[in-house]
Chain A
Amino acid sequence: MTHANTGMMLRVDLSRRTVREEPIKTELARAYIGGRGLGTRLICDEVDAKVDPLDPANKLILAAGPLTGTTAMCGGRYMAITKGALTGAIACSNSGGNFGPELKYAGYDMIVLEGAASEPMILVIEDKAAALRPADGLWGKTVHETEDALHAQLGPDYKCVSIGPAGEKLVRFACILNDKARAAGRSGVGAVMGSKRLKAVAVRGTGGLTAADPPAFRAACLDAFAKLKAGPITGTGLPKFGTAILVNVINESGVFPTRNFQQGQFESAEQISGETIAEEILIRNRACMACPMACGRVTAIRDGKFQGRGEGPEYESIWALAADVGVSDLAAATKANYICNELGMDTITAGATVACAMELYEKGAISKSEAGCELRFGDADVLVEMITKMGRREGFGDVLAEGAARVAKKYGRPELFMGAKGQEFPAYDPRGVLGMGLQYATSNRGGCHVRGYMIAPEILSVPQKMDPHAAEGKAAMNIALQNLTAALDSSGVCLFVVFSIGAAELTAMLKSATGAAYDVDEFLRVGERIWNLEKLFNQRAGFSKKDDTLPRRMLSEPMPGGPAGGKTVPLDEMMKEYYCLRGWDADGRPTKEKLAALDLQSAS
């Protein structure tokens, strides 16, 4: 299966400083599509699930999908797959921009990074010529400085991924950034890159990709294009206001987590909304490659103490760096967002960790002398200071750099960590969107919104309207979305396409691009296979039924007010149904029969 795939990968051993090319097994590419699926399969085959994520024996895979680099709608994606430094679970973080396509034009579908170098290195790829080089003078630099230096050194056409100081210092939620502000954000994939002492990958590719059936592929792309343009979210909402259009929507639904999930509505939501961002700080939209929506926001804070320029904040970021920490100052939250991008940290975990620490402080678990300041909700200066310190592991920032789960445990209040499997929740309080609660508890990479986005049916009525306060039908819908998303990610397109197109359109693009005879059923079965494989990895890593859960606050502290007032998440009820519909046993383990049906016997 070549055509849209290159069929080749690059295996880079940082310990031995070797770089070699390897063909990708056709049958594996068919069974796992590419990207997240294929990367996860390689991690499962080659990495001991019990390994410390920061040990050289862990591997980090940067992988594009078959649709990456073509006219497939929003096909600009690549994924970073590894055992996550934050969670110890399987991790796959997804990013757009221009890096993934460029990697394929250079002749590779993926890069497998192994071992660890004794001194900082960079990987430079120019059309099938790849070499490790010393990262002369780059270690310690911010993401922006690093990209600028690489462009000055290699030429402006190189596309780069890099880590910032946070990745170097093994901040557990360090991310990998490309095109300066696009991030493979979650689970600490950047810390794994830092543990390998790989500062950056710069790639230049001048080759091309073809579709197996060009006329059919063109027609499938144009069909998806028309539907994305006509869709209210993909054709108007995201282009006009970016992801932060959700601030008002989610706040009005009463599920906009505020002050570490102590409330479900933020009184200053209007001041940080997508509409306000568009009015006050937006300079221009910026698209990832091949995306007709262009939800990216180039912004600037023109004056004052939070002056700066960069991209974002996205919805989840503005939530984490404003509502979750009780800060109503858009300039401060935006500045914190810029700092996260420059130091290379996941904005969600960064903000949520400060929020958790603020609650610990206000409840007396952290003292002022330990924190070095009054760590109170709503203090914009403290927010910016803490974000900066955690990215550099300075002072109390060194404690925060471990993430909220470890911070809450350290100070004896583990129940104040708002997350699952060690990863902080994103910007939806599950007490008022019950399916999202099930999603958080079952997500293979911990608290996460992009594994099965239940907000689509529960709030946005896509593909159909579901009552957010009812448990009924949520398990089946969540499973369907989880499987679809796994297959979609693996194809190399952006999750946002699902607001206007589904498995039929995706399968049409994938089939005509690769020449493999996928149909909708098989496409979704690949998604199910990937989900089960991720689950198997986590089981081997030591996760079990007890980890498929939510913090006590979600299960037994009723939402204090608003449209979701009085609600908690009836998780047990949904979970039983979920396990059953997944074909897993009562302890949430895939059965032999299920694994056989998914051709996963060899992986178990």
Chain B
Amino acid sequence: MSKALLIEPDKCTSCRLCELACSARNAGAFRPTRSRIQVAVNVDEAFYFPMVCFQCPDAPCVEQCPTQALERDPSTGLVRVLEDLCNECGVCETACPYGVIRCMDGKARKCELCGGEPECVRFCAPGALRYEPTEQWPSESRQAYAGQLRELCEEARR
């Protein structure tokens, strides 16, 4: 059974340990600007929302990459960057509706689930991030997350 990164934004406290853990694991430094997960924070609204790749089944970044540098593993569902093919053109950045793939230090970078042991999950105290088997979960939680995002967007427009 494959696993997915599950996000419950309501449990997030905005401590950003996920950003620190991710950047240390994937960029070699405690460096939030290089983290592949980032907590969107609005202090006044007490709004904290961890933003990270959903590993979309119909990923726009994969579809639009002009050099085929992004591929989706059919067995695990993981979307990966093939560094040799990436020329940092930035099309994936604009293609992604969530802003969770970014060109950094010469290549496109995104969450690749730390090879099956996501470091952000290891450091998430309130349990806003979990990595669990997905039989029924992924679509449900993704829909819930998307629902919250939609509400927020609507609110922002009002």
A287 close to B (CB within 8 Å): yes
Residues of A within 8 Å of B28, CB to CB, are 208, 210
B150 close to A (CB within 8 Å): no
Which residue of B15, B21, B24, B30 is within 8 Å of A291 (Cβ)?
B15
Complex Cα gap A228–B23 (Å): 23
Task: Please name the residue on chain A nearest to B27 by beta carbon.
Answer: A208
Complex Cα gap A105–B13 (Å): 22
Which residue of B13, B21, B43, B44 is within 8 Å of A71 (Cβ)?
B21
Residues of A within 8 Å of B30, CB to CB, are 69-71, 208-211
Residues of A within 8 Å of B27, CB to CB, are 208
In the complex with contacts A222-B122, A292-B15, A105-B24 CB distance below 8 A: no
A220 to chain B, nearest CB (A): 13
Residues of A within 8 Å of B32, CB to CB, are 101, 105
Complex Cα gap A290–B27 (Å): 18
Complex Cα gap A214–B30 (Å): 11
> Contact between B13 and A294 (Cβ–Cβ < 8 Å)?
yes
A223 close to B (CB within 8 Å): no
| Contacts of A163-219 to chain B: CB distance below 8 A | 179-180, 206-211, 214, 218
A229 close to B (CB within 8 Å): yes
Stretch at the interface among A130-138, A278-286, A531-539: A278-286
B14 close to A (CB within 8 Å): yes
In the complex with contacts A225-B125, A229-B125, A291-B15, A218-B31 CB distance below 8 A: no
In the complex with contacts A218-B24, A283-B46, A209-B15 CB distance below 8 A: no
> Contact between B13 and A286 (Cβ–Cβ < 8 Å)?
yes
Complex Cα gap A218–B123 (Å): 10
> Contact between A225 and B123 (Cβ–Cβ < 8 Å)?
yes
| Contacts of A204-254 to chain B: CB distance below 8 A | 206-211, 214, 218, 221-222, 225, 228-229, 239
> Contact between B15 and A208 (Cβ–Cβ < 8 Å)?
no
A352 to chain B, nearest CB (A): 28
Which residue of A180, A208, A291 is within 8 Å of B43 (Cβ)?
A180
Task: Please name the residue on chain A nearest to B24 by beta carbon.
Answer: A71
Most buried by A among B17, B21, B30, B31: B30
| Contacts of B109-126 to chain A: CB distance below 8 A | 122-123, 125-126
Task: Convert A55-86 into 0s and 1s, putting 1 for each residue whose CB lies closer than 8 angstroms to a CB of B.
Answer: 00000000000000111000000000000000
In the complex with contacts A105-B31, A287-B14, A294-B15, A208-B125 CB distance below 8 A: no
Residues of A within 8 Å of B122, CB to CB, are 222
Residues of B within 8 Å of A105, CB to CB, are 31-33
A205 to chain B, nearest CB (A): 8
A64 to chain B, nearest CB (A): 12
Residues of A within 8 Å of B23, CB to CB, are 208
In the complex with contacts A222-B122, A298-B46, A287-B31 CB distance below 8 A: no
B34 close to A (CB within 8 Å): yes
Complex Cα gap A210–B33 (Å): 14
In the complex with contacts A70-B20, A180-B43, A287-B14, A293-B34 CB distance below 8 A: no
In the complex with contacts A105-B31, A105-B32, A208-B31, A286-B17 CB distance below 8 A: no
Residues of A within 8 Å of B21, CB to CB, are 71
A-side interface mostly = loop
Chain A contributes a number of interface residues (CB within 8 A of B) equal to 35
B29 close to A (CB within 8 Å): yes
B36 close to A (CB within 8 Å): no
> Contact between B31 and A214 (Cβ–Cβ < 8 Å)?
no
Which residue of B16, B31, B33, B126 is within 8 Å of A239 (Cβ)?
B126
In the complex with contacts A71-B21, A283-B46, A210-B29 CB distance below 8 A: yes
A579 to chain B, nearest CB (A): 41
> Contact between B43 and A179 (Cβ–Cβ < 8 Å)?
yes
Task: Please name the residue on chain A nearest to B15 by beta carbon.
Answer: A287
A288 close to B (CB within 8 Å): yes
A289 close to B (CB within 8 Å): yes
> Contact between A208 and B34 (Cβ–Cβ < 8 Å)?
yes
Residues of B within 8 Å of A285, CB to CB, are 13
B43 to chain A, nearest CB (A): 6
| Contacts of B1-60 to chain A: CB distance below 8 A | 13-17, 20-21, 23-24, 27-34, 43-44, 46, 48
In the complex with contacts A218-B24, A229-B125, A294-B126, A289-B33 CB distance below 8 A: no
| Contacts of A283-333 to chain B: CB distance below 8 A | 283-294, 298
> Contact between A288 and B31 (Cβ–Cβ < 8 Å)?
no
Complex Cα gap A285–B48 (Å): 10
In the complex with contacts A70-B20, A218-B24, A287-B33 CB distance below 8 A: no
> Contact between B15 and A289 (Cβ–Cβ < 8 Å)?
yes
Residues of B within 8 Å of A209, CB to CB, are 29-31
Which residue of B33, B46, B123, B125 is within 8 Å of A206 (Cβ)?
B33
Complex Cα gap A587–B13 (Å): 48
Residues of B within 8 Å of A101, CB to CB, are 32
> Contact between A208 and B126 (Cβ–Cβ < 8 Å)?
no
Complex Cα gap A293–B17 (Å): 11
Complex Cα gap A71–B13 (Å): 15
B20 to chain A, nearest CB (A): 5
In the complex with contacts A207-B31, A209-B31, A210-B28, A290-B126 CB distance below 8 A: no
Complex Cα gap A70–B17 (Å): 9
Complex Cα gap A284–B13 (Å): 8
Closest 7 CB pairs of A and B: A208-B31, A208-B29, A292-B125, A294-B13, A287-B15, A287-B13, A298-B46
Residues of chain A having any CB pair with chain B under 8 Å = 69-71, 98, 101, 105, 179-180, 206-211, 214, 218, 221-222, 225, 228-229, 239, 283-294, 298
Residues of chain B having any CB pair with chain A under 8 Å = 13-17, 20-21, 23-24, 27-34, 43-44, 46, 48, 122-123, 125-126
28 A-B pairs (CB sep. < 8 Å): A70-B30, A71-B123, A101-B32, A180-B43, A207-B31, A208-B23, A208-B33, A209-B30, A209-B31, A210-B28, A210-B30, A222-B122, A225-B123, A229-B125, A239-B125, A284-B46, A286-B13, A287-B14, A287-B15, A289-B15, A289-B16, A290-B15, A290-B16, A290-B17, A292-B126, A294-B13, A294-B14, A298-B46
